[in-house]
Structure 1
Amino acid sequence: MFAIYLLAFIAITNVFAFQSNDIYDEVRGSRNLTGKVVLVTGSSSGIGEQIVKLFSALGANVVVTGTKDADIQRVVKEAQDLSPQKLKPLGLAADLTKTDELEKLVNETIKTFTKLDVLVNNAGIYLTANLMDKKFWDTFAAYEKIDVTAALQLIQQAVPYLQKTKGSIISISSVIIQRPQKGMLAYGLAKECLDMSTRQKGMLAYGLAKECLDMSTRVLSLELAPLIRVNAISPGSVLSHPLNTTDPVAVAQYNKTIKSTPLARIGQPSDIAKGVVFLASSDAEFITGHNLVIDGGLNYNMDSNFSNP
């Protein structure tokens, strides 16, 4: 009888040992993205550029998009140089305000790589306008076209392929939605819409129309589960392009950001790229409907005038 108990104990121990080793091995290999296909909008410069470069460096096939072919081809070459297997990215110029060009992005990705594992809605614009400014509604319309409509249309196009790979959708939002800023109403509304696809099943259209607030990551995390995970990232201030040291306003805002950030530096595109890779990796396989703030703690120190010179 003792021998039977001993064998049972050994068997159970071996099971736990196997599970533990399996977990450790999975985490060790979680950033090996060989064989994955990643489409990132707005990836010919700034944060998007760093996202495709990091994915490429980790072995993935990437799609570089933008509006200027020269920038696209530069990033394609640099991302290929970073690839362990020297995989050449697909470079595609696209106007995201045109539905046919959004369809082209997805179709060309599938035609080239046969599948899609990760969609990153990174493309966006940055404009300011107070409600009483004559340009307010033009500003809001511009945000709605790029940050909301284009992102949701692209998701709609990509879902059939992401379902096949049990893929992931990640949208780049902003900490502005958590800390109201003067002159940032149009920007904040658009970013809240982008964050809002995840609250109640079947309520996406209603939520966008009635709230335009916090819904593009929550509703879709429910509607597209369990096959597709949907998350967002809210960056703080990020130095997406080299600082113009001849512009006193830009320099003042840069210094103000560092002073206001608990971690005492401005964000870098690589900080956001690392977050995107994490959410796309197997380490985040039980995370959906989440908005990951990557801001060095800045949002805790932002007053309502922070974004204004």
Structure 2
Amino acid sequence: MFIVYVLAVVTLVSGHVISSEPDIYQEVRESRNFDGKVALVTGSNSGIGEQIVKLYSALGASVVVTGRKEADIARVAKEAQALSPKKLKPLEVVADLTVSDELENLLKQTVQTFGKLDVLVNDADIFMFANFTADTFWKTFDSFESIGVRSPLHLIQMAAPALIKSKGTVINISSVLSQRPQKAMLAYELQKQALEMATKVLALELAPFGIRVNTLSPGATQSHPVNTTNPHSVANAKRIADATPLGRVGLPIDMAKGVVFLSSTDASFITGHNLVVDGGLRFNLDSGFMTVKV
């Protein structure tokens, strides 16, 4: 009885894989076609978020560029529009995500402008060291909690009705550092681990509505060109590259490709996952890696 059951399952699975229906293959061929899709990327006025929103635009999506600096938003929006195959104009929204009214306005403008939301990427972030014994620890902790946990969760909650309609997807940006404890980074790592746990719980809660929720954890990423006139910057870039098994520092486009994959049809059966994009750096991280002076 057991053998018959196993054979039946294998036949069923095999039958799907070798199906003569062309759709399953065509879907893969077109998996990076985001025509008609709408992507909202927080923190998209610079760094990794900028590259993510530009890649979505280049793949045909309508995008929302948002951050706290109007000039940066305008620059990124102009560059993203130039990359768009149909020259679709991005929505530009200045927003402080720690202010509830501004967060609500960001989502409201997105839905009013495009009529829908397919992809939400929570990339907005801050980066600070915070020694636990320092007087400023709790102030830093509160800042991380506000921008790195409360804001993305609030935005996901508000966006849920739109994402339910589109059977959309959420990608939360964490960090490989959450997997390797670092000195003077307790506040930073706690907020990233909290966001990763939120991904897992929300993947379960939102799955019945057709919403997928995943995390992407970047390794060391060179968001800006290395200052070759600064010996410290050059030495630090080399130190990170030497510690990375693949032999180089990550680039924003590496992270953007991972985000796009998670929101593509190729990842339609993936939810609650943490995709690490770090060139293998996590295997060589010790507890003092981020505080080494060079």
Q: TM-score, normalised by structure 2?
A: 0.92
Q: How far apart in 2 are the matches of 1:173 and 1:190?
A: 9
TM-aligned CA deviation for residue 130 of structure 1: 1.2
Q: How far apart in 1 are the matches of 2:160 and 2:90?
A: 21
Other-structure match for 1:4:
none
TM-aligned CA deviation for residue 16 of structure 1: 5.0
1:54-108 deviation per Cα after TM superposition (whole angstroms, max 9, x unaligned): 0000000000001111110111111000000000000100001100111001100
User: 1:55-70 maps to which residues of 2 (within 5 A)?
Assistant: 55-70=56-71
1:143-194 deviation per Cα after TM superposition (whole angstroms, max 9, x unaligned): 1110101110111110110000000000100001101111111110011111
Q: How far apart in 2 are the matches of 1:142 and 1:244?
A: 29
Q: How far apart in 2 are the matches of 1:246 and 1:191?
A: 33
Other-structure match for 1:298:
281
Other-structure match for 1:117:
118
Other-structure match for 1:288:
271
Structure 1 residue ranges, 4+ long, deviating more than 4 angstroms after superposition: none
What SS does structure 2 have at the residue aligned with 1:91?
A: strand
**Aligned residue among 219, 229, 237 for 1:236:** 219
Other-structure match for 1:77:
78
251-260 or 278-287, larger mean C-alpha shift: 251-260
What SS does structure 2 have at the residue aligned with 1:283?
A: helix
Q: How far apart in 1 are the matches of 2:35 and 2:86?
A: 9
Q: How far apart in 2 are the matches of 1:116 and 1:69?
A: 23
User: 1:13-52 maps to which residues of 2 (within 5 A)?
Assistant: 17-19=19-21, 21-52=22-53
Other-structure match for 2:206:
224
Other-structure match for 1:249:
232
TM-aligned CA deviation for residue 253 of structure 1: 2.0
**Aligned residue among 254, 264, 269 for 1:271:** 254
What SS does structure 2 have at the residue aligned with 1:232?
A: strand
Q: How far apart in 1 are the matches of 2:276 and 2:50?
A: 20
Letter in 2 for 1:105: L
Q: How far apart in 1 are the matches of 2:230 and 2:170?
A: 37
Letter in 2 for 1:304: S
User: 1:160-239 maps to which residues of 2 (within 5 A)?
Assistant: 160-197=161-198, 217-226=199-208, 227-239=210-222
User: 1:99-110 maps to which residues of 2 (within 5 A)?
Assistant: 99-110=100-111
Q: How far apart in 2 are the matches of 1:169 and 1:106?
A: 14
Q: How far apart in 2 are the matches of 1:143 and 1:243?
A: 26
What SS does structure 2 have at the residue aligned with 1:238?
A: coil
Q: TM-score, normalised by structure 1?
A: 0.87
TM-aligned CA deviation for residue 255 of structure 1: 1.2
Distance 1:17 1:228, change over 3 A: closer
Letter in 2 for 1:287: I
TM-aligned CA deviation for residue 135 of structure 1: 1.1
Q: How far apart in 1 are the matches of 2:270 and 2:187?
A: 29
Gaps of 5+ in 1: 1-12, 198-216
Q: How far apart in 2 are the matches of 1:56 and 1:136?
A: 39
Count of residues paired in the alignment:
277
Q: How far apart in 2 are the matches of 1:47 and 1:273?
A: 7
2:158 counterpart of 1:157: yes
TM-aligned CA deviation for residue 17 of structure 1: 4.5
What SS does structure 2 have at the residue aligned with 1:169?
A: strand
TM-aligned CA deviation for residue 244 of structure 1: 2.6
TM-aligned CA deviation for residue 133 of structure 1: 1.1
What SS does structure 2 have at the residue aligned with 1:143?
A: helix
What SS does structure 1 have at the residue aligned with 2:197?
A: coil
